[in-house]
Structure 1
Amino acid sequence: MSKAVRAVPVSPAMVQQRASDLVGSDARVLLLRAHPEWTAGPVKVGDREVRVVTAVSQLAVLDAYASLGPDDYAVILTDRPSSDLGDAVLARAYKQRVEMPDEWQAVPRLFPGAREVSRELRRLDWAATALLDHRPVGDWPRSPEIAVGAAHAIGALLAHLVGLRVDAELDGAVLLTALGKRDNRSRWAEVDVSLRRHLIAWAGAELGAPAAFALKVAQRQELVMPLAVGLALDVLWPVDGSIPNELQIAARVRAERFVDGKTIPVTEATAVASVARATVQRAAVDDDADIAVALKQAEALLGDLGWAIGAERSSVLRPGYYARERALAVALDSGTGIEDALSAVLEHRDANGVPTMAVRLHRWLAGPEVEPSSLAGDLQRQLNDGAWVDAALGAVCRAATDPVVAETYQRLVTKVRDRRAGRDELAAHRLAQAATFGRQATPGTDAIGVERILGDVVEPLRRGGGALLVVLDGLSGAVAVMLASEIARLGFVEHVPMVSLQRLGAVAILPTLTRRSRTSLFCGAVREGDADQEKKGLRSAFPGSILFHKNDLRAESGAALPTDVASALADEKVPVVGVVVNAIDDAIHKTDVSDTDWKLTDLHPLRALLEAAIASRRTVIVTSDHGHVVERGTETLPAPGTDSRWRPVRNPVRPGEVEVSGPRVVVPDGAAVLLWREDLRYGPRRSGYHGGASLAEVTVPVLVFQPATALADTLAGWVSAPPQVPGWWNDPADGPALAPPVSRSRKKRKPAPAPVADQDALFAVEREATPDPEADLVDALLASSAYADQHRRAGRHALSGDAVAAFLRPILQRGGRAHQDTVAATAGIPAVELGQRFAVVKRLLNVDGYEVLKVDSDGVTYRIDIELLGEQFELGGLK
Structure 2
Amino acid sequence: MGAIVPELDQRVITGLLATHLPRAKGRQLMLVHGRYAETAAKVFTVPDGEGDRRSVHVAHATSVLGITDAWQEHRAQHGSDLLVVTTDVADERVGVDLLGEMMRSRTITVDEADIVKQLFGAADLDPRMRRDPWLWLPAALIAAEPREGWPQRGTVLTLDAAMRALVGVRLGLEGVFEGGASVDVDALLAWSQQPGGPDRFAVLPEAEQQGIADWLEQRAGEAAPLLLRLAVSGLGPRATALGLLSSVLSESGDPSSADAALALGSLLNGVRFRPSELRAFTSAVEGTLTRWIGEAAGRGTQSEQARHRVLDVVRQADQLAESVHLTGVLADNPFLPSGFQERLRRLAEALSESADAAQAAWEFVREHQLAPSFYPERVELARMAVRLRRWLDQDVPGVSSVGQAVQAHVTNWGWADRALTQLWQGDTVADPVVDEAYGKLHDAARQRRHLLDEAFASCLARWTQDARPNRPGGDLLIENVLNEVARPLADAAHPPLVVVLTGMTGAVAAELGEELTSTGRWIELGEGGLRRAAVALMPSVTAVCRASLLSGRPVLGGPEEEKENFIAFWQEHDHTASLFHKSDIPAEVGHRLRDQLISAIAMDEVVGVVLDTIDESLDHGRQSPGGPWTVDSVTYLPELLNTARAQGRPVVLVSAHGHVQDRDSSSATPALAEDVEAARWRTGPAGDGEVALDGPRVLENGGRITAAWSEDIHYTPGKAGYRGGAALAEMAVPVLVLAPTDEVAPEGWATVPRESVEPSWWERSAEPVSPFVPAVEPKLTKKLARKTGLRPKTVATSDAPVDDETAKAPTAQNPPMEKAPEPEQSLGWRVVSTKIYDHQKAFVRRAPDRKVVAAVVDALDAAGGTLSLAAVVAAVTASGGRAPSRPEGIVTVLTRLLNVEGYDVINLIDTRTRVRLNRDQLIQQFELTQAEGGVA
Q: TM-score range by the shorter chain?
A: 0.7 to 0.9
Deviation, structure 1 residue 868: 5.6
- Residue 19 of structure 1, CA deviation: 3.7
Map of 1:661 onto structure 2: 694
* 1:147-187 CA distance string (max 9 Å, x none): 55555553443344334443366532332233223332333
2:500 and 2:609 in contact (8 A); partners too: yes
Take 1:101 and 1:807, find their aligned partners in 2: how far apart are those partners? 86
Residue 616 (structure 2) aligns with: 586
Aligned to 2:424: 397
Cα-to-partner distance string for 1:772-827 (whole Å, 9 max, x where unaligned): 4754666655555555555555555889674576467657865x7x6869987996
After TM superposition, list the pairs within 5 Å mapping 1:619-658 onto structure 2: 619-633=650-664, 637-643=671-677, 645-651=679-685, 653-658=686-691
- Conservation of the 8 A alpha-carbon contact between 1:625 and 1:700: yes
- Equivalent of 1:196 in 206, 209, 223: 209
Indicate how the Cα distance of structure 1 residues 862 and 753 shifts in structure 2: closer, same or farther if over 3 A, else same: closer
Q: Which runs of 5+ in 1 are unaligned?
A: 738-746
1:512 Cα deviation from its structure 2 partner = 0.8
State the AA in 1 paired with 2:648.
R
Tell me, in whole angstroms, the C-alpha distance in 2 between the residues paired with 1:230 and 1:604: 48
When residues 416 and 481 of structure 1 are mapped into structure 2, their CA distance, relative to the original with a 3 A threshold, is same
* Number of residue pairs aligned between Structure 1 and Structure 2: 854
Work out whether residues 224 and 281 of structure 2, in 8 Å CA contact, stay in contact via their aligned partners in 1: no
Identify which range, 665-674 or 145-154, moves more after superposition: 145-154
Q: 1:764-779 to 2 correspondence within 5 Å?
A: 765-770=813-818, 771-772=820-821, 775=825
Alignment correspondent of 2:219: 206
Measure the CA separation in 1 of the matches of 2:111 and 2:910: 56
RMSD of aligned C-alpha atoms?
A: 4.4
Is the counterpart of residue 275 in structure 1 residue 284 in structure 2? no
8 Å CA contact 1:172–1:214 kept in 2: the answer is no
Offset, 1:558: 2.9
Q: Structure 2 length normalisation: TM-score?
A: 0.79
Tell me what 2:390 maps to.
363
User: In the alignment, what sits opposite 1:595?
Assistant: 626
Partner of 1:221: 234
> What's 2:589 paired with?
557
Partner residue in 2 for 1:437: 467
The answer to whether the 8 A contact 1:473-1:514 is kept is: yes
1:135 corresponding residue in structure 2: 145
Match of 2:648 among 617, 627, 633: 617
CA distance in 2, matches of 1:88, 1:802: 112
Residue 300 of structure 2: aligned partner: none
Q: Which moves more between the two structures, 414-423 or 3-12?
A: 3-12
**Counterparts of 2:889 and 2:186, CA distance in 1:** 40
Q: Is the 8 A contact 1:471 1:581 kept in 2?
A: yes
Structure 2 gap ranges (5+): 48-52, 298-302, 787-803, 878-882
Matched, 1:17 2:15: yes
> Cα offset for 1:754?
6.7
Q: 1:523 and 2:551 equivalent?
A: yes
> Contact between 1:31 and 1:99, CA under 8 Å: does it hold in 2?
yes
Structure 1: how far apart are the matches of 2:130 and 2:413? 73
Shift of 1:669: 1.0
2:184 and 2:584 map into 1 onto residues whose CA distance is 57
In structure 2, what residue type is equivalent to 1:587? S
- Residue number in structure 2 paired with 1:72: 81
Contact 2:499 2:610 in 1 (8 A): yes
Partner in structure 2 of residue 503 of structure 1: 531
Hey, what's the Cα distance between the residues in 1 that align with 2:189 and 2:768?
Answer: 44
Give secondary structure in 2 for the equivalent of 1:679. coil
Comparing 213-222 with 475-484, greater Cα deviation is found at 213-222
Q: What amino acid is the match of 2:687?
A: R
Indicate the larger mover: 427-436 or 294-303: 427-436
- The separation in 2 between residues aligned to 1:831 and 1:526, in whole angstroms, is 41
Tell me how far apart the structure 1 counterparts of residues 718 and 648 of structure 2 sit (CA, whole Å): 44
Find 1:344's aligned residue among 356, 364, 371.
364
Aligned residue identity for 2:189: L
Residue 681 of structure 1 corresponds to which residue in structure 2? 714
- Corresponding residue of 1:327: 346
User: Taking structure 1 as reference, are residues 855 and 311 closer, same or farther at Cα in structure 2, changes over 3 Å only?
Assistant: farther
Any idea what SS the aligned residue of 1:315 has? coil
Structure 2 residue corresponding to 1:534, chosen from 562, 566, 569 = 562
SS in 2 for 1:492: coil
Tell me the distance in 1 between the aligned counterparts of 2:151 and 2:471: 76
Distance 1:403 1:669, change over 3 A: same
Question: Identity of aligned pairs, percent?
Answer: 27
Amino acid at match of 2:37: W
Look up the match of 2:723.
690
Cα-to-partner distance string for 1:496-550 (whole Å, 9 max, x where unaligned) = 2241x12122222211101111111222221111112222222223465332222
Per-residue deviation, 1:434: 3.7
Deviation of residue 61 (structure 1)? 6.3
TM-score when normalising by structure 1? 0.84
Q: 2:607 aligns with which of 577, 595, 615?
A: 577
The one-letter amino acid of 1:127's match is L
Pick which of 225-234 and 133-142 moved more: 133-142
Tell me, yes or no, if the aligned pair for 2:652 and 2:735 is still in contact at 8 Å. Answer: yes
Distance change in 2, residues 1:97/1:607 (3 Å): farther
Contact 2:570–2:577 (Cα < 8 Å) also in 1: yes
SS at the partner of 2:352? helix
1:587/1:242 Cα in 2 relative to 1: closer, same or farther (>3 Å)? Answer: farther
Provide the residue aligned with 2:171 in structure 1. Answer: 162
Equivalent position of 1:718 in the other structure: 749
- Relative to structure 1, the CA distance from residue 24 to residue 616 in structure 2 (aligned partners, 3 Å threshold; closer, same or farther) is farther
- Shift in CA distance, 768/294, structure 1 to aligned 2, threshold 3 Å: same
In structure 1, what residue type is equivalent to 2:407?
A: Q
Q: Residue 740 of structure 1 aligns with which residue? A: none
- After TM superposition, the structure 1 stretch with the greater mean CA deviation from structure 2, 37-46 or 326-335, is 37-46
Instruction: Give the Cα separation in 2 of the matches to 1:824 and 1:142.
Output: 66
Match of 2:445 among 396, 416, 433: 416
**CA–CA distance in structure 1, aligned partners of residues 747 and 420 of structure 2:** 36
- 1:330 is paired with a residue whose SS is helix
Task: Measure the CA separation in 2 of the matches of 1:769 and 1:353.
Answer: 33
SS in 1 for 2:275: coil
Q: How far, CA to CA, are the matches of 2:66 and 2:918 in structure 1?
A: 89
Counting only pairs closer than 5 Å after superposition, residues 420-499 of structure 1 correspond to structure 2 as: 420-435=449-464, 436-439=466-469, 446-463=474-491, 464-488=493-517, 492-499=521-528
